[in-house]
Amino acid sequence: MNTVESQVNLYQIWEGFHWLFIVHIQGLIICLQRFEIELNAGNLPQAEVELGTATELMLASGAAMELAGSFSRKEYEDKILPTMKAPVVVSENFSGLMSWDHASLMQLWKRLSPVFQALPAELNNQYNNFVNAYITLSRSHTAVCSKFGGNEKGSLRCNKGSAVSRLENFQKSRLKMLDPNNQVTDG
């Protein structure tokens, strides 16, 4: 057992950083709702603040995801993966996709897609940062998944194709909602 593992066990790392990920996503939902309210009220400076905060929360979510996977693949397979399967988890299709947070965020992004399509030019810089923060978050999730073998096999939810390819498909579909004009370049 190494020094870090003796101080905090791997499951605490995995679970703790996933909780932080979820908390940041909940904050992201609130900020985007406030962004929508401020934009509808014509308050562009405050809308920009909300979009900026949403950007930071999305980057923090990506960092939390990376930190959740800050151990070896063998440690993941031996200590973490068994906690996400029966009999510990009753669901056959265990996934974050099942959470209400995910559903709320996807509904919000879908509703905001036309807003992003016709965004005032004054918000373009912050909007570009926001979309790039999503790309960073998505890549962080994909990197952790790949580190633990997701490029070789399916996810806990779906065994068809690799988990990494599914995440890449999710990224493409979500980018269509967030960047409907396909104008943001990855930076």
Query: What pLDDT, on the 0 to 100 scale, is given for residue 157?
Result: 53
Q: What is the pLDDT along the chain (187 residues), one digit of tens a residue?
A: 555 444 568 889 988 998 999 999 999 999 999 999 999 999 999 999 999 999 999 999 999 999 999 999 999 889 888 887 777 767 665 555 557 788 899 999 999 999 999 999 999 999 999 999 999 999 998 998 889 888 876 555 556 667 778 888 888 999 999 999 998 866 5
Predicted TM-score of the model (pTM): 0.86
Q: How far apart are CA 143 and CA 101, in angstroms?
A: 22
Q: What HEC string does the chain produce? A: CCHHHHHCCHHHHHHHHHHHHHHHHHHHHHHHHHHHHHHHCCCHHHHHHHHHHHHHHHHHHHHHHHHHCCCCHHHHHHHHHHHHCCCCCCCCCCCHHHCHHHHHHHHHHHHHHHHHHCCCHHHHHHHHHHHHHHHHHHHHHHHHHHHCCCCCCCCCCCCCCCHHHHHHHHHHHHHHHHCCCCCCCCC
Query: What pLDDT, on the 0 to 100 scale, is given for residue 101?
Result: 85
Query: What pLDDT, on the 0 to 100 scale, is given for residue 80?
Result: 86
Query: What pLDDT, on the 0 to 100 scale, is given for residue 110?
Result: 96
